[in-house]
């Protein structure tokens, strides 16, 4: 039961304001670089569908992934989390 309870709490994180803010900054940064989702996906070794789900707020992003996005978009990590 404990594992299920933790899992439910984690699922809710994608619906928080801070997650929506992060997603908005990811989209804004990508558009500022004039990159398409498919181009970002190729640079990250992922599918365009994965990038689309991240930008739609359907998939969480960890700090390692965020560092990769920051490098591609030439932004500091704090840009995405402040």
In Å, how far from its chain's centre is CA 50? Answer: 10
The arithmetic mean of pLDDT across residues 63-74, rounded, is 97
Give residue 75's pLDDT: 97
Q: How far apart are CA 75 and CA 17, in angstroms?
A: 21
Whether pLDDT at 68 is above 50: yes
pTM of this structure: 0.81
pLDDT top residue among 36 and 82: 36
> Taking residues 65-72, what's their average pLDDT?
98
pLDDT at residue 14, as a whole number:
67
Residue closest to 52 by CA, chosen among 44, 6, 81 = 44
| Of residues 34, 26, 35, the one with CA closest to residue 58 | 26
């Amino acid at each position: 039961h404990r594992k299920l309870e933790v899992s439910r709490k984690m699922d809710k994180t994608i619906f928080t304001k801070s997650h929506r803010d992060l997603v908005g900054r990811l989209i804004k940064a990508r558009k500022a670089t004039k990159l398409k989702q498919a181009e970002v996906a190729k640079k990250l070794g992922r599918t365009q569908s994965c990038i689309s789900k991240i930008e739609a707020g359907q998939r969480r992003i960890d700090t390692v992934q965020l560092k990769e996005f920051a490098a591609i978009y030439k932004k500091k990590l704090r840009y995405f989390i402040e």
